[in-house]
Structure 1
Amino acid sequence: MKYSKPLDSGPCWVELSTSDIPAAKSFYTALFGWRSETDPRPEAGGYTMARLGDAAVAALSPAYQPDQPPAWTVSFSTQDTDATVEKVTSAGGTLLVGPMDVFDLGRFAVVADPDGAVFSLWQPRTFAGAERLSDPGALGWVELSTRDTEKALSFYPSVLGWTVNAGESYTHWGVGGADFGGMMAMDEKFEPEVSPYWLPYFVVTDVDATAATALSAGGDLLLPPTSIPDGPRIAVLRDPQGAAFGIHKSYEG
């Protein structure tokens, strides 16, 4: 990710839906040094803001449905949530929640692409999204894993106007020349029941040390620390409640 604040159509926020807010607070504080504040208003439903210093970087919330598995959701900024939802459905995607207003903060919706990968749309009003990006402890990359890369290459540029930089083994997504994420094809290594998904990566100063901290705090290692050729060092983790996410060391090629 090459920018420090949200851009229109780019990733602007990440939110964890979890079965145990207090446990998630403890785990992510140990990993990233987050300071978490739960909104006391009953209508906020236990929504908890995670901060680096005073800067909002992510959120933790109770699961909306009793059978909803813990998971991170990536949000993309838009100037008009309702209009973008229409583009989503016209391009073969699905509306799951909303559109709806969130106090005076913004207007959001939860949608899925044609292959079933879930993401959110956020139209900012008083809240633009993450107040820090690409810093240690903040969001630094987002990655789509999908079984239909050709459909994704058509869907996301048409709905959100993304640029595409496709290499032999990896595709980069961008906004205005600034790459913010990528796409991987789901091959036979993925179990058939695993749905396509968006995975957030958080920046850390030491991937190996952070992975070790995650394990000692009750998390699991899905992908051990790995150096990507001509790229960063990464790992993929799972928190104690079962939500997957990535970490990477900031890299400039």
Structure 2
Amino acid sequence: MANPFVHVELNTTDLAKAKAFYGTLFRWELTDLDMGAHGRYTLIGVGEGTGGGMMQHPVPGAPSQWLPYAEVPDLAAATEKARELGAKIVQANVLIEDKGAFSLIIDPTGAMIGLWQPHRRRHSSVY
């Protein structure tokens, strides 16, 4: 499949409550990472399938929401193509240490999606 979903992220208004709920409901393996100035990020291990993460919502007052990321082979080109097709670019080409880089876009209908390019040119989760 071209451009598979490789990571799903929860931006939540209450990280502790979300961790308790989803950890119990699905028995996900939740692992906290210290992201320095960016706060704490919780990895979601699901066993087989697409994993993800959760974090305190970075936009004060915004509702909790799930955000899928699709893998792209060339992040800069995909971000520019999205812009040309009418997307609003929220963040472009953000580097995540030695993992890869992402862009966040809002499509012409108002839905947000993440674009992810791993450092290695193969199917890879964000973490």
Query: Could you say whether these structures have the same fold, taking a TM-score greater than 0.5 normalized by the shorter chain as the test?
Result: yes
Partner Cα distance (2:3, 2:83) in 1: 17
**CA pair 36-55 structure 1, distance change in 2 beyond 3 A:** farther
Give the share of equivalent positions with the same residue, in percent: 28
Partner Cα distance (1:12, 1:101) in 2: 17
**CA pair 43-73 structure 1, distance change in 2 beyond 3 A:** same
3-state SS, counterpart of residue 67 of structure 1: coil
Partner of 1:93: 87
Moved >2 Å (runs of 4+)? 52-56
Residue type of the partner of 2:112?
A: V
Cα distance, 1:98 vs. partner? Answer: 2.2
- 1:5-48 Cα shifts (integer Å, max 9, x gaps): xx541211100000111111110011111111111242442111
Q: 5 Å matches for 1:58-207?
A: 58-125=52-119, 128-129=124-125
Say whether residues 1:47 and 2:21 are aligned partners.
no
Cα distance, 1:108 vs. partner? Answer: 0.1
**CA pair 87-54 structure 1, distance change in 2 beyond 3 A:** closer
Q: State the aligned residue count.
A: 125
Partner Cα distance (1:88, 1:25) in 2: 33
Residue type of the partner of 1:36?
A: L
Cα distance, 1:93 vs. partner? Answer: 1.1
Higher relative contact order (CA 8 A, sep 6+): 2
Structure 1 range deviating more: 40-49 or 60-69: 40-49
Runs of 5+ unmatched residues, structure 1: 1-6, 132-253
| RMSD over aligned Cα atoms | 2.3
Runs of 5+ unmatched residues, structure 2: none
Tell me the TM-score normalized by structure 2.
Answer: 0.87
3-state SS, counterpart of residue 85 of structure 1: helix
Partner Cα distance (1:56, 1:89) in 2: 27
3-state SS, counterpart of residue 34 of structure 2: coil
Cα distance, 1:55 vs. partner? Answer: 8.2
**CA pair 26-71 structure 1, distance change in 2 beyond 3 A:** same
